[in-house]
Amino acid sequence: MALLFTSCGNKDNSTRQVVAQKYPTTVVSEKTEKLLSVYPATVKGQEDIEIRPRIDGFIDAINVDEGAVVRKGQTLFRINSPQAEQALTTAEASLQSAKAQVNTAKVNVNRIRPLAEKGIIGKVQLETAEDSYQSALAGLAQAEAALKNARATIGWTQVTSPVDGFVGSIPFRLGSLVSSANVLTTVANTGNVFAHFSLNEKQLVTFLNTLEGNTQAEKIKNAPPVTLTLADGTVYEHEGKIGTITGSINITTGSANFRAEFPNKEGKLRSGTSGKVSVPRVIEKAIVIPQKATFSQQDKIVLFLAQGDSVVQKAISVLPTPDGKSYVVTDGLTVGDRIVTDGVATLSHGKKIHFD
């Protein structure tokens, strides 16, 4: 009986023994990894020019439509300006009058000079006639200048595009009374476009610290090319280059503004569109782990570190990789650490595990 009882007791103890479950693990190492920081951006033309009339008048013709492609010097609007037309007519008449006065004065000088040389009349009369002639010449010069200005002013009735580009909205219609205070439309020169985005103060410091150079200008020059993701999720085919960074932090937003320039010879990018600028960052000696090896706990990223035959929880700091499947660990792990790579939802701190 004693032997039977002892035998049954040993059988019960063996049943209670906990078998360690096997989990996949890996020993972390270093490698070079490329990260992308993504920021919302607004695309603007290289030149977004407001088109205003230089004279007051009524819109007589609208020669383009919204969104049209125009060339430098192309007529966009024609303004009917009665004042300009009147000024031109007056200037032309003044010029004819000035020319007549010059001719009269010249005839008088030619008539009086021989008489004065023969002593028939005094030299004072000749000098007076010559002064009148010079005065008439000055009046002619003034009339010619006034006519030139009047012709230039009448030329302003043709409102032309100062650059190649795309026409914006046109708020006015035929017959509208406009002046220099009114914006007739805008023309966006999109041969190259600028993507405007911003980084907060911490991001700015981190970004500049990753670039070579002693000054901000040198760092900008050494900045890597950036990419633009359009609103539909497609990546624009041409890379851009960061051109400027504001020299101060905006007090209201706490951020610094960046401007990246992209070529746009095909005209695919329009001024005013939105997108996302991706700024690459290469990290040497990066520790990269799969995201499925981690979980979130109270706003922290946590994984299980294998120690002996059990696991311990470890909080880490990470940066996501562009593929969305891995993390670059910035703090919390060292080369040679062994981590559990899958099944972490079934683990707990101190649990016994088995691994190869």
pLDDT of the residue at 28: 92
216 & 251 share domain:
yes
Angle at Cα 199 formed by Cα 204 and Cα 229, nearest 5°? 125
126 & 235 share domain:
no
| CATH number of domain containing 168 | 2.40.50.100
317 located within any domain: yes
228 & 170 share domain:
no
* β-bridge mates for residue 279, sequence order: 37
pLDDT of the residue at 18: 56
221 located within any domain: yes
For the sheet containing 75-80, what is the strand order? 158-160, 75-80, 57-62, 177-178
pLDDT of the residue at 3: 43
Give per-residue pLDDT as tens, 219-235. 899 999 999 999 999 99
Give per-residue pLDDT as tens, 248-280. 787 778 889 999 999 988 878 888 889 999 999
CB 41, CB 277: distance < 8 Å: yes
- CA-atom Rg of the chain in angstroms: 41
7 located within any domain: no
How far is it, in rounded angstroms, from Cα 259 to Cα 198? 9
| CATH number of domain containing 136 | 1.10.287.470
pLDDT of the residue at 171: 93
307 & 346 share domain:
yes
| CATH number of domain containing 260 | 2.40.30.170
194 & 242 share domain:
yes
Residue-by-residue DSSP string for 7-62: HHHHHHHHHHPPPPEE--EEE--EEEEEEEEEEEEEEEEEEEEEE--SS-EEEEEE
Last residue in a domain, options 166, 182, 198: 182
**Helices and strands, counts by H and E, the chain:** 5, 20
| CATH number of domain containing 350 | 2.40.420.20
pLDDT of the residue at 15: 46
3-state secondary structure of 330: strand
pLDDT of the residue at 356: 65
Taking 50 as the threshold, does the pLDDT of residue 322 lie above it?
Answer: yes
Greater confidence (143 vs 356) lies with 143
Total number of domains in the chain? 4
11 located within any domain: no
Burial of 230 (0-12, 13-18, 19+ CB in 10 A): middle
Averaged confidence pLDDT in the chain: 88
Q: How confident is the model at residue 4 (pLDDT cuts 50, 70, 90)?
A: very low
162 & 67 share domain:
yes
Structural domain of 169: 53-78+157-182
How far is it, in rounded angstroms, from Cα 22 to Cα 39? 42
Angle between helices 82-117 and 123-155 (to 10 degrees): 160
Alpha carbon distances (Å) from 325 to 114, 118, 302, 317:
107, 112, 16, 16
Q: How confident is the model at residue 283 (pLDDT cuts 50, 70, 90)?
A: confident
- Average pLDDT (162-175) is 91
3-state secondary structure of 216: helix
Give per-residue pLDDT as tens, 335-353. 999 999 998 989 999 999 8
How far is it, in rounded angstroms, from Cα 132 to Cα 112? 12
- Average pLDDT (42-63) is 91
List, as own/partner pairs, every contact residues 103-111 make where C-beta atoms lie below 8 angstroms and the sequence separation is at least 24, other chains included. 104/136, 105/129, 105/132, 105/133, 105/135, 105/136, 105/137, 106/133, 106/136, 108/132, 108/133, 109/133
How far is it, in rounded angstroms, from Cα 257 to Cα 275? 15
Of the listed ranges 66-75, 149-158, 247-256, 281-290, the one predicted with least confidence: 247-256
103 & 151 share domain:
yes
How far is it, in rounded angstroms, from Cα 4 to Cα 24? 42
Per-residue burial over 115-150, b = 16 or more CB atoms within 10 Å of its CB, e = otherwise: ebeeeeeeeeebeebbebbeebeebbeebeebbeeb
Give per-residue pLDDT as tens, 141-157. 999 999 999 999 999 99
How far is it, in rounded angstroms, from Cα 211 to Cα 217? 11
Task: Answer whether 0.85 is exceeded by the pTM.
Answer: no
How far is it, in rounded angstroms, from Cα 52 to Cα 273? 24
Residue whose entry in the numeric block shows the structure tokens 């009917």 = 80
Last residue in a domain, options 251, 282, 313: 282
pLDDT of the residue at 47: 79
319 & 332 share domain:
yes
Q: How confident is the model at residue 21 (pLDDT cuts 50, 70, 90)?
A: confident
CB 156, CB 84: distance < 8 Å: yes
